[in-house]
Amino acid sequence: MRTLIWSKTFVRALRRNIKKHPTVCKHIEETLKVLEENPFAPRLETHKLKGKLSGSWACSAGYDLRIVFDFVESEKQKEDDIFLLEIGTHEEVY
Closest CA to 32 of 84, 77, 85, 88: 84
DSSP characters for 39-68? TT-GGGT-EE--GGGTT-EEEESSSSEEEE
pTM for this predicted structure: 0.93
Band of residue 75 on the pLDDT scale cut at 50, 70, 90: confident
pLDDT of residue 44: 97
Total number of domains in the chain: 1
In 10 A of CB 80, how many CB atoms?
14
Question: Can you give the residue range of the structural domain that contains 32?
Answer: 4-93
Domain CATH number, residue 86: 3.30.2310.20
